[in-house]
Amino acid sequence: MARTVHVVLIYQSLLGIYGDRGNALVIERRLAWHGFEPRLTIVEPGDKVPDDADIYLLGGGEDSAQITAVRALIADGGLHRGVERGASVLAVCAGYQIAGTTFTVGDRDTVIDGLGLLDVTSTRGPTRAVGEILARWEGRTGDDAWISGFENHGGHTRLGPGAKPFARVEVGVGNCGDGTEGAVNGKVIGTYPHGPILARNPALADHLIELALDRKLKPLVRPEITELRRQRLRAARR
Ligand code: GLN
């Protein structure tokens, strides 16, 4: 019987305005293609966050929604327990910022505690980063190493010693214009691109599955996805 892989998409009503829900659909579909039984749970504020998930997904959102989300997640504790149990996490944009140690919001730059899953801090940047982003995934070679997406964030993020950059920016801003994009700590990956990022970069979806299950997957190439990647990479390089 196929192994069930449990994916939890967190707080669509707060962290769902940039279409990052598509990441859950990509993981679901690729799990099925790889021969697993996907199980998707969409958790809203007020629901318990299951702590038995294999993969957690957090998306982008506005500053005020981010505060509500982070406070609810800290109070709930399910995501933290899930990570301790070995789940992988993809946190995009606002999700990435709240996964860090602190972030600031508002004209007074009020400092808000994050989840502490990544050693990064976010503060208001000099200008909003908006546009196509192209980056090279650290430690990867070949065509899969190109990460493309769309960034749209006012916050800028700096890495502490406990976080490694996820990628190196070729086009766009990424973390804060220092050439780094995103951060990694163990099985937790934070990154800025929407797209959704897993639709544009399915190798990252497979990587999250591999991290969660502690095993390698067979390569899975689909011509329509290769074509989508070709188009998006060309658009970003323009
Ligand atoms: N509110 C955050 C910022 O502007 C995140 C935005 C987003 O998720 N796209 O930095």
- Nearest atom within ligand 1 for CA of residue 63: 1
**Domain count across the chain:** 1
What confidence score (pLDDT) does residue 235 get?
86
The rounded Å distance from CA 55 to ligand 1 centre is: 22
- Pocket lining: 125 vs ligand 1, CB cutoff 6 Å: no
**Contact yes or no for 51/95 (Cβ under 8 A):** no
The rounded Å distance from CA 154 to ligand 1 centre is: 6
What confidence score (pLDDT) does residue 23 get?
98
Torsion 26-238-167-98 (CA) sign: negative
**Contact yes or no for 42/57 (Cβ under 8 A):** no
| Structure token pair of residue 50 | 């299951």
- Pocket lining: 94 vs ligand 1, CB cutoff 6 Å: yes
Residue pLDDT, tens place only, 1-43: 899 999 999 999 999 989 999 999 999 999 999 999 999 999 9
Q: Residue 74 pLDDT more than 90?
A: yes
CA-to-CA separations, 74 to 41, 116, 119, 120, 155, in angstroms, rounded: 19, 10, 16, 17, 21
The rounded Å distance from CA 63 to ligand 1 centre is: 6
Residue in 11, 12, 90, 93 to alter for ligand 1 test, most ligand atoms within 8 A of Cβ:
93
Task: Using alpha carbons, select from 152, 135, 126, 196 the residue that is nearest to residue 61.
Answer: 152
Please give, one letter per residue, the 3-state secondary structure of 59-70. Answer: CCCCHHHHHHHH
What pTM was estimated for this model as a whole?
0.97
What confidence score (pLDDT) does residue 102 get?
98
What confidence score (pLDDT) does residue 236 get?
85
Rounded to an integer, what is the distance from CA 211 to the centroid of its chain?
14
What confidence score (pLDDT) does residue 214 get?
97
- Pocket lining: 152 vs ligand 1, CB cutoff 6 Å: yes
| Structure token pair of residue 128 | 């909003």
Q: Residue 237 pLDDT more than 90?
A: no
Nearest CA to ligand 1 atom 6: 153
Q: Residue 186 pLDDT more than 90?
A: yes
d(CA 173, CA 152): 10
**What residues make up the domain containing 141?**
4-237
Residue pLDDT, tens place only, 192-211: 999 999 999 999 999 999 99
Task: Using alpha carbons, select from 211, 220, 222, 221 the residue that is nearest to residue 5.
Answer: 211
CATH of the domain at 43: 3.40.50.880
